[in-house]
Structure 1
Amino acid sequence: MSLKTFFSRALAATTLGAAVFMAPAALAQSASHTLVDPAQPSDTAGKTEVLEFFAYSCPHCAAMEPLVEKWAKTLPEDTVLKRVPVAFNASMADLQKLYYSLESLGRLDLHPAVFKAIHQERKRIYTQDAIIDWVAEQGVDKAKFESVFKSFGVQTKIARANELTETYGVQGTPSLAVGGKYLVSPSMTGSYQGTIDEAQRLLESLKK
């Protein structure tokens, strides 16, 4: 089996199952990326955005995340990496809430620990109660986290994440959107590093 075949379009569903979002925007296919049509504006004023579509339940996201972290440190000042947690079905929504709750509390230092807990330690932190208990074990105030987890602010961010997932036509994770114009993933490039390299190439093409 080739590496490209190995990466299915429902990568995020390995643990939880998936229902694929269909994009309203037409995507022009190429060998190593798709073209987003129409191109999407940046949510960050004055910055070129790289969107990382991921799911905590996706083992390929867990494998590629260290490469994304390393690459993010090399991005120019006018470029920002934004993570977008994806839910291919309702059972994945609590993991979206987990990411945005950590972000709201300034505890994204725990982002890699979530991947480790799920994929290395085999902890089933997929539901609200399990997530809240796990986060409390990491030293985060349980009541404060639970309040943020259930907040309107987090729900608003999830609504935007779902909108972006649909608009960009994301059919599997991990996927990277570059400058609102391009979408690239391991299923297109055949490897994790190849995905990073292609995203870098596309980013440089936008700067010319």
Structure 2
Amino acid sequence: MSLSRRRFNQLLAGGLGVALAPNVLAGLVEGQDWRAIARPQSEAPEGKIELAKFFSYGCPFCGQLARVMKPWLAELPDDVVFRRIPISFNRAAWANLARLALALEETGLAAELDQAVFDAVGVDREPLFTETAILDWLADKDVDTEAFRQVFNASHIRAQVARNDRLQARFGINSVPTLVVDGRFVVVGEQARSFDDILEIAGELIDKARA
């Protein structure tokens, strides 16, 4: 469900700071750089463009993209709203990670702990796949685990994971991380050489959505 090793190597071949590949500079190519969604859907307010990131804490490449995206997101135009969509691919372990991501957002802890979770799972190989493991890890971060447990187990959190998974299926997303612009355009980036290239494509699709 995560990026293949071959795909990952393609993304990183030139390093994260290299210049864009010539095909990106020459303009986007449908089917190569992006694809259209047959049944578009966006939750952005009227007049806004949604940039959605489908991800999982269980995907190490998602953590690396998150780190690269942080300064890029700070420069987004005012008419773009960013939405994080944790998904599970119907895996129980990943469903728990998706609930963790949603609960961190709801409790206001995402800004502090989001990258830490990515690093714990993707770099340190901590198996944060059960409620017990997650709460033990949070306890070490001085989080009120009893209050967090209530949010983590809330019915609306579980329902949101299910909705996210249905949206992932509707958009035909079969790997993470995947960026979607305006509920209409999926970033494909077959010729991208770095995550920066992926973000450049997303930026051009934002311009396309605005036009």
Per the normalisation by structure 1, the TM-score is 0.82
**1:114 is paired with a residue of what secondary structure?**
helix
Residues 1:119 and 2:153 are matched in the alignment: no
User: Cα offset for 1:31?
Assistant: 1.1
Matches within 5 A, 1:17-36: 30-36=31-37
User: Cα offset for 1:57?
Assistant: 1.1
Aligned to 2:43: 43
Q: 1:186 to 1:127 in 2, by over 3 A?
A: farther
Letter in 2 for 1:103: E
User: Cα offset for 1:99?
Assistant: 0.3
Matches within 5 A, 1:6-21: 6-7=6-7
Q: 1:187 to 1:146 in 2, by over 3 A?
A: farther
Contact between 2:103 and 2:157, CA under 8 Å: does it hold in 1? Answer: yes
Contact between 1:85 and 1:96, CA under 8 Å: does it hold in 2? Answer: yes
Letter in 2 for 1:95: L
User: Cα offset for 1:155?
Assistant: 1.3
Identity between Structure 1 and Structure 2 (%): 30
Residues 1:167 and 2:162 are matched in the alignment: no
Aligned to 1:59: 60
Distance 1:190 1:183 in 2: 17
Distance 2:202 2:4 in 1: 17
Matches within 5 A, 1:89-168: 89-91=90-92, 92-108=94-110, 109-168=112-171
Contact between 2:35 and 2:187, CA under 8 Å: does it hold in 1? Answer: yes
Letter in 1 for 2:43: D
User: Cα offset for 1:4?
Assistant: 8.5
Aligned to 1:78: 79
Distance 1:4 1:142 in 2: 35
Moved over 4 A (4+): 185-188
Aligned to 1:14: none
Contact between 1:186 and 1:192, CA under 8 Å: does it hold in 2? Answer: no
Q: 1:190 to 1:144 in 2, by over 3 A?
A: same
Q: 1:67 to 1:144 in 2, by over 3 A?
A: same
Contact between 2:60 and 2:123, CA under 8 Å: does it hold in 1? Answer: no
Residue deviations 1:51-104, cap 9 Å, x none? 101111111111111122222111111211101112123221100110011011
Matches within 5 A, 1:194-205: 194-205=197-208
Name the count of aligned residue pairs: 186
**1:60 is paired with a residue of what secondary structure?**
helix
Which ranges of structure 2 fall in alignment gaps of 5 or more residues?
Answer: 9-29
User: Cα offset for 1:156?
Assistant: 2.2
Contact between 1:174 and 1:185, CA under 8 Å: does it hold in 2? Answer: no
Letter in 1 for 2:165: N
Distance 2:7 2:83 in 1: 23
Letter in 2 for 1:45: P
Per the normalisation by structure 2, the TM-score is 0.81
Contact between 1:55 and 1:173, CA under 8 Å: does it hold in 2? Answer: yes
Q: 1:53 to 1:33 in 2, by over 3 A?
A: same
Q: Provide the aligned C-alpha RMSD in A.
A: 2.1
Residue deviations 1:143-198, cap 9 Å, x none? 00111110012112212211211111111011000011110145563431111110
